Amino acid sequence: MTPTIITAAMVQALRARTGAGMMDCKKALESVGGDLDAAAEAMRKSGQIQAEKKSGRIAAEGLIIIKSKAVTGPAIILEVNCETDFVARDENFKQFAEKTAQCALDHQITNLESLLAFTFADTGETVEKTREALVAKLGENIQIRRLHLVGGQADTLLGFYVHMGRIGAIVQLKGGDEQLAKDLALHIIANNPVVISADDIAEQILAKEREIIMAQSQGTGKPQAVIDKMVEGRLNKFRDEMSLLGQAFVKDPNVRVGQLLKNAKAEIINFVRFAVGEGIEKPTEDFAEAVMAQVKGSS
C-alpha cells in the first residue's frame, strides 16, 4: 500500500486547527494516513494540546464584541484574541467571546482579573477555566486581552458599531440623538482619532512632531520666517488629524466633527475604539519553507 504523501498544505491546516508544532502535526498526519479530523482528535487525546504550552504564543487575531443594555448604556467593548483567523471564525470561539462580554456587561465588570475569576452560572466554571478548556479544544492560545465599560448616565446616550468583528467603537454623547451617536461611532472606526480635542494632545507629542516637521523643512532655502509658518501650518493639520473634533466628518468631508456637534447642540463625553491585535507584533511565516526546513533538519 502506497503511503499517503503529507503535504505542507495538510500540515498548515492541522496546525491552524490545533496550534501544535509543525513536526508534531506532520507525525500525527502520517500516523492516520493524512486524515485531518483523525489527526486532530489523536493529538487532543494524547494531551499534546495544552493551554499552558500555548500561553506564550502570539495571539493577534480574534474578535471585538460590544454589548449594551440601553441607549444610555452602560455598554461593554471586549477584545478576545486567538492565533489564527480560522479559530476566530469558529462557533465555539464566537460563543465564548459573546458569553464573556455579556457577563461583563451584566455585572459591570471593569477589569480583566475580576472577569477571569467570575463564575458562569450555567456551567459553574470560571471564565478562566472555560478559556483554558477552549484552548485545549481548539488548540490555540486564546486570551481575553482588554475590556472597557462606557456610559450608564441618564443624561447621556451611546452610539456603537462593530465592523466585521475586527474594529469596534463606542461614543458617549450629551445631547444629539441616536443616529448622530451611531454616525460618530462609524466615523471613529474609519478615522481612528486619538483624543477628543486638540487640547488633549500631550505636549511632548506635539514637541516631537514639531521637531520632525522642522527637520524636514530645513534645506529648502526658504527664509526662516516662511519655514516657521509652514511648520505651524503642518502642526495644526497634525492636531486636526489626531483629534476627533478637528477631523472632517466621514459622511460629509466639508464639515468638521466639531461643527457637526455644535449644529446638533451635542457634546462628546467619551469614546473608545478597539481594533483586533493592534499593537501586537505578528510574525510572518512561509509554511512550505518552514516545513521543509524542519523535515530536512530531522532527517
The pLDDT, as a whole number, for residue 275 is 96
Mean pLDDT of 279-294: 60
Question: Cell numbers 521637531 correspond to what residue?
Answer: 211
The pLDDT, as a whole number, for residue 230 is 86
The pLDDT, as a whole number, for residue 40 is 81
The pLDDT, as a whole number, for residue 161 is 95
Sign for the pseudo-dihedral over CA of 110, 101, 151, 238: positive
Continuous segment of H or E residues that includes residue 258: helix 257-263
The pLDDT, as a whole number, for residue 42 is 80
Least confident span in 2-6, 15-19, 130-134, 248-252: 15-19
3-state secondary structure 151-175: CCCCCCEEEEEEECCCEEEEEEEEC
Question: Cell numbers 494524547 correspond to what residue?
Answer: 46
| Between 20 and 262, the higher pLDDT residue | 262
What's the CA gap between 91 and 78, in Å, rounded?
17
Query: pLDDT at residue 148 above 70?
Result: yes
Which ranges in 82-169 belong to alpha helices (H)? 85-88, 91-106, 112-117, 127-138
CB count in 10 Å sphere of residue 281: 7
Reading the block at residue 42, the C-alpha cell is 489523536
Continuous segment of H or E residues that includes residue 78: strand 75-82
Residue 146 pLDDT grade (very low, low, confident, very high; cuts 50, 70, 90): very high
Residue 258 pLDDT grade (very low, low, confident, very high; cuts 50, 70, 90): very high
pLDDT tens readout for residues 42-75: 876 665 555 555 655 777 899 999 999 889 889 9
The pLDDT, as a whole number, for residue 104 is 97
pLDDT tens readout for residues 85-126: 999 999 999 999 999 999 999 999 999 999 999 999 999 999
The pLDDT, as a whole number, for residue 288 is 56
The pLDDT, as a whole number, for residue 225 is 85
pLDDT tens readout for residues 169-207: 999 999 999 999 999 999 999 999 999 999 999 999 998
| Cα–chain center distance at 166 | 6
Domains with residue ranges and CATH for the chain: 8-55+283-298 (1.10.8.10), 61-193+267-275 (3.30.479.20), 198-263 (no CATH)
Query: pLDDT at residue 287 above 70?
Result: no
Q: Is 189 helix (H, G, I), strand (E, B) or coil?
A: helix
Query: Which is nearest to 74 in space by CA: 168, 191, 170, 199?
Result: 170
Query: pLDDT at residue 147 above 90?
Result: yes
Reading the block at residue 26, the C-alpha cell is 506532520
The pLDDT, as a whole number, for residue 125 is 94
